[in-house]
Structure 1
Amino acid sequence: MNAPVDGAELPDPAADTAPHAEWREDARRLIGELFQRSPAIYWVDFLASTSLAWAFGALYMLADGWSAWQLVGLLGASVFFFRAGTFIHEIVHMPARQMVGFKRAWNALIGIPLLMPWIMYRNHTEHHNHRLFGTPADGEYLPLASSPIGETIKYLAQAPLLPLFQLVRFGVLAPLSWLFPRFREWVLTRASAAVSNPYYRKRFPRRDERHLKMVEALCFAYLVVLGVLTWRGVIEARHLGRAYILVALTLALNWVRNLAAHRYGNDGRGMTLAQQVEDSINITGQTWLTVVLFPVGLRYHALHHMFPALPYHNLGRAHQRLMEGLPADSPYRSTNRASFFAGVRELWVSARRTSRPQSSMQRWSAPTPRT
Structure 2
Amino acid sequence: MKSSLLLDGLEAEAPTVLTAPAARVRIADDMAMLRAAAELTRDISAARPAIYWGDMLGSAVLGYGALYAAIVLVPVGWAILAAVASVLALYRAGSFIHELTHMKHSSVPGFRIGWNLLMGIPMLVPSFLYEGVHTLHHARTRYGTTDDPEYLPLALMKPYSLPLFVVVSLLAPIVLLVRFAVLTPLGVVFPKLRERIVAQYSGLAINPAFRRRAPEGEARTLWHWFEAGASIWAITLLTLVATGVVPLRGFLIFLGVASGVAVLNQVRTLVAHLWENDGETMTVTAQYLDTVNVPPPTLLPALWAPVGLRYHALHHLLPSLPYHALGEAHRRIAAAVTEDSPYHKASYAGLPGLVRSLMANTMRGVA
Q: TM-score, normalised by structure 1?
A: 0.88
CA shift in 2, pair 1:206/1:323, >3 Å: same
Q: Point out the more displaced range, 102-111 or 270-279.
A: 270-279
Matched residues in 2 for 1:107 and 1:275: separation?
A: 34
1:139 and 2:137 equivalent? Answer: no
Q: Equivalent residue for 2:82? A: 73
Q: How does 1:135-214 map to 2 (within 5 A)?
A: 135-207=145-217, 208-214=219-225
Q: Equivalent residue for 2:282? A: 271
SS at structure 2 position matched to 1:142 = coil
Residue identity matched to 1:141: Y
Matched residues in 1 for 2:270 and 2:197: separation?
A: 28
Is the Cα contact below 8 Å between 1:190 and 1:203 reproduced in 2? no
Is the Cα contact below 8 Å between 1:137 and 1:200 reproduced in 2? yes
Q: How does 1:26-105 map to 2 (within 5 A)?
A: 26-64=36-74, 67-105=76-114
1:350 and 2:361 equivalent? Answer: yes
Is the Cα contact below 8 Å between 1:139 and 1:200 reproduced in 2? yes
Matched residues in 1 for 2:169 and 2:241: separation?
A: 26
> 1:339: how far off?
0.9
More helix by share: 1
CA shift in 2, pair 1:37/1:98, >3 Å: closer
Is the Cα contact below 8 Å between 2:170 and 2:263 reproduced in 1? yes
Which structure 1 residue ranges, 4+ long, deviate > 3 Å from structure 2? 285-288
Q: Equivalent residue for 1:6? A: none
Matched residues in 2 for 1:72 and 1:249: separation?
A: 13
Residue identity matched to 2:153: P
Matched residues in 1 for 2:105 and 2:248: separation?
A: 40
Q: How does 1:103-142 map to 2 (within 5 A)?
A: 103-122=112-131, 123-142=133-152
> 1:229: how far off?
2.5
Tell me which of 237, 242, 249 is aligned to 2:248.
Answer: 237
Residue identity matched to 1:186: R
Is the Cα contact below 8 Å between 1:147 and 1:355 reproduced in 2? no
> 1:342: how far off?
1.9
Q: Work out the number of aligned pairs and report it.
A: 340
Matched residues in 2 for 1:278 and 1:349: separation?
A: 18
1:301 and 2:308 equivalent? Answer: no
> 1:67: how far off?
1.0
Q: Deviations over 1:117-138 (max 9, x none)?
A: 0111011001111211111211
Q: Equivalent residue for 2:22? A: none
Listed as ranges, the gaps of 5+ residues in structure 1 are: 1-14, 357-371
Matched residues in 2 for 1:222 and 1:321: separation?
A: 45
Residue identity matched to 1:148: K
Matched residues in 2 for 1:210 and 1:48: separation?
A: 29
Matched residues in 1 for 2:123 and 2:101: separation?
A: 18
Matched residues in 2 for 1:298 and 1:211: separation?
A: 26
RMSD: 1.7
Matched residues in 2 for 1:185 and 1:114: separation?
A: 24
Q: Deviations over 1:148-186 (max 9, x none)?
A: 212112211211111111111111111111111111111
Matched residues in 2 for 1:205 and 1:271: separation?
A: 28
Q: Equivalent residue for 2:334? A: 323
Matched residues in 1 for 2:185 and 2:67: separation?
A: 29
Q: Equivalent residue for 1:3? A: none
Matched residues in 2 for 1:36 and 1:327: separation?
A: 27
Q: Equivalent residue for 2:20? A: none
Matched residues in 1 for 2:36 and 2:62: separation?
A: 40
Q: Deviations over 1:303-341 (max 9, x none)?
A: 000000111111111111111111111111110101112
SS at structure 1 position matched to 2:300 = helix
Matched residues in 2 for 1:270 and 1:307: separation?
A: 19
Matched residues in 2 for 1:60 and 1:30: separation?
A: 45
> 1:355: how far off?
4.2
> 1:285: how far off?
4.4
SS at structure 2 position matched to 1:158 = helix
Q: Equivalent residue for 1:261? A: 272
